[in-house]
Chain A
Amino acid sequence: MATSASLSRTSDFFREVVAEAPVDPHLEACLQCGTCGGSCPSGPDMDHTPRALFAMIAAGMRDAVLRSNTPWYCVSCYYCMERCPQEIRITDVMYTLKRMAIKAGYSAQTTAPKAPGFAQTFVDHVENYGRSFELGLITRYYLSHRPLDALKMAPLGMGLLKRKRLDLSPRPIRQIDQLKAILDRAREIDAAHST
């Protein structure tokens, strides 16, 4: 078996993933032991187990990796990271792959097509108001991405409303302009870095 370090030298995609992660995920140390997949609550529903996905990254299978539903089905439970003998930052890699899939325009073609829309709606919302108000978030997301499913969510919405567990209007933070300035600057810096 080739070591992951030698595999990593052969794949540009591998280096791209590592560079995109917030801190080095140490992906080259993956032993392919499978502990992560065996610990994963979403394992059975994933196109590829985390272990398989890491082998595919090392092999440079860019398309298949970015189309996989695996990162979108990751619920960030951190079981895999807890148990990985190599202390690989698996959950970070999943986030990184989501970001790369969105950037590459693949996210709508995965088998979890609903996930990127939800993430984007959430983000738009926070950027506009500074806090998330659940009703606005849910209705905007469902109306724009899944109009038919919006009906299914109605009973939950009503139940939350009745129990006064839902806001009807957003609660902007006081210094929303400050937050926007910070986020805009962050976007610029990020853009300048990813060439």
Chain B
Amino acid sequence: MRYGYYPGCSLERNAGAYHTSLMAVAAQLGVEFAEVDDWNCCGATEFIAVNRLRAYALVSRNLALAARQTNGSNGAAKGQLVAPCSACYLNLSKVEHYLSQSPALASGVNNALAAGGLSYEPGSVRVRHLLDVLVNDVGYEKVAARVRRPLHGLRVAPYYGCLVVRPGFQGRFDDPEYPTSLDRLMRTLGATVVDFPLKAHCCGGHMTQISRDVALELIRRLLKNAADYQADMIVTLCPMCQLNLDAFQESVNGLFGTEYRIPILFFTQLMGLAFGLSPAAVGIGKEFVDARPALAKIGAAAPAAAEAAPKRKPRRGDQSLPLPQMPEEEL
């Protein structure tokens, strides 16, 4: 199986571990992701806030390149474009959907694309999220057949976030409010999946850059929910979710006086580990919250994380009453 692949900016650097692990897993499963040549950023949620047609043209350049490069020759699935980043997935599928719906928008966009010698015919690219392709095209059975080191005893909270399940511009592959495909995938790997009621709630996206306290509260809720159900780790399928939950966990602890140390891994990293790959081969060690203690449970010796866990600072603003805590949170 061969697909067009749109990595998105995050996977080039900040979420490099996602790219490394998904490529390693794809190789094991006989799937090939051919990167769209010379793709540009899809604009996240920011671009569209500033200018309408430019935002659509920005994304459409990627669609035009993808349509041209995944044309069914050399065994590529025609027009199938895979995005591992939730925001990229949403932007690409939304723009494609709106172009198909609105001839006026499509002609404006094509007029702009023509300035760069490109054109795009609505309907020629179908955008898929990586999870969709792995569970529905590859399938659970094929994944199960590759498991060499089952994740027995590992308690995993599967986090979907928003945009992979909502609003489903190009069709849905899971429930928009209580999705289960990632749960089933994790079970296929042998992990114990904990109930995680907030699994499709929002982590705040770029809110960390806009209003820190609002963002940290959204992140805190998710961490608390996972801790309440005694998850060893949260698995994500979006680079921004990973960054928010991982890199800001210390800030959450500082603001709320909590002690969370919940590692946040990409679901493809756990797939790779279950397939018997080494932690280094799936990019373990780049996370802020050290995943080694949790991974010790499945006998996957992990390399040292980039730095030792920082010593706990005394809580700021000690006039406040201590927050009520579930006993499990002390873990």
Contact = CB atoms under 8 A, between A and B. Distances in A.
A32 interface: no
Contacts of B116: 175, 178-179, 181-182
User: For this complex, into which size category does the number of interface residues on chain A fall?
Assistant: 35 or more
Contact of B286 (A72, A119, A165): A165
A138 B248 CA distance: 15
A40 to B, nearest CB: 9
B171 to A, nearest CB: 15
Contacts of A41: 201-202, 204, 218
Given A96-B52, A193-B108, 19 more contacts: A22-B56, A45-B214, A72-B210, A76-B162, A77-B163, A112-B210, A116-B49, A118-B206, A123-B46, A123-B47, A131-B41, A159-B288, A164-B16, A171-B12, A173-B38, A174-B38, A182-B61, A186-B108, A187-B51
Contacts of B45: 75-76
Nearest to B214: A45
B112 A186 contact: yes
Nearest to A118: B209
Interface stretch (A2-10, A58-66, A78-86): A78-86
B112 A185 contact: yes
Interface of B: 9, 12-16, 38-41, 43-54, 56-58, 61, 90, 98, 101-102, 105, 108-109, 111-118, 162-163, 166-167, 176-177, 201-202, 204-207, 209-212, 214, 218, 247-248, 285-288, 306-307
B50 A114 contact: no
- CB-based closest 8 A-B pairs: A185-B115, A77-B202, A178-B116, A186-B112, A122-B46, A78-B166, A186-B57, A98-B49
Interface of A: 20, 22-23, 41-42, 45, 72-73, 75-79, 81-82, 91, 95-96, 98-99, 102, 112, 114-116, 118-120, 122-123, 126, 130-134, 138, 141, 152, 156, 159-160, 162-167, 171, 173-175, 178-179, 181-187, 189-190, 193
A156 B247 contact: yes
A164 B20 CA distance: 14
Contacts of A116: 49
A61 to B, nearest CB: 21
Nearest to B48: A95
Given A41-B201, A79-B166, A165 B14 contact: yes
Nearest to A183: B54
Contacts, number: 195
Nearest to A89: B167
A118 B209 CA distance: 7
Of B44, B52, B58, B102, chain A has the most CB atoms within 10 Å of the CB of B52
Contacts of A123: 43, 46-47, 50-51
Contact of B50 (A20, A102, A130, A133): A102
B49 to A, nearest CB: 4
9 contacts: A42-B214, A45-B214, A72-B210, A75-B162, A126-B40, A132-B44, A159-B307, A163-B286, A182-B113
A13 to B, nearest CB: 18
A186 B53 contact: yes
Nearest to B109: A186
Contact of A126 (B43, B118, B247): B43
A167 B117 CA distance: 31
B50 A81 contact: no
Nearest to A102: B50
B9 A132 contact: yes
Contacts of B166: 77-79, 81-82
A183 B58 contact: yes
A41 B202 CA distance: 7
A141 B206 CA distance: 13
Contacts of B211: 45, 73, 112, 114
A189 B112 contact: yes
Contacts of A187: 51, 53-54
Contact of B14 (A98, A152, A166): A166
B169 to A, nearest CB: 10
Given A75-B202, A159-B247, A162-B306, A181 B115 contact: yes
B115 A165 contact: no
Contacts of B205: 75-77
A160 B247 contact: yes
Contact of A167 (B13, B118, B162, B202): B13
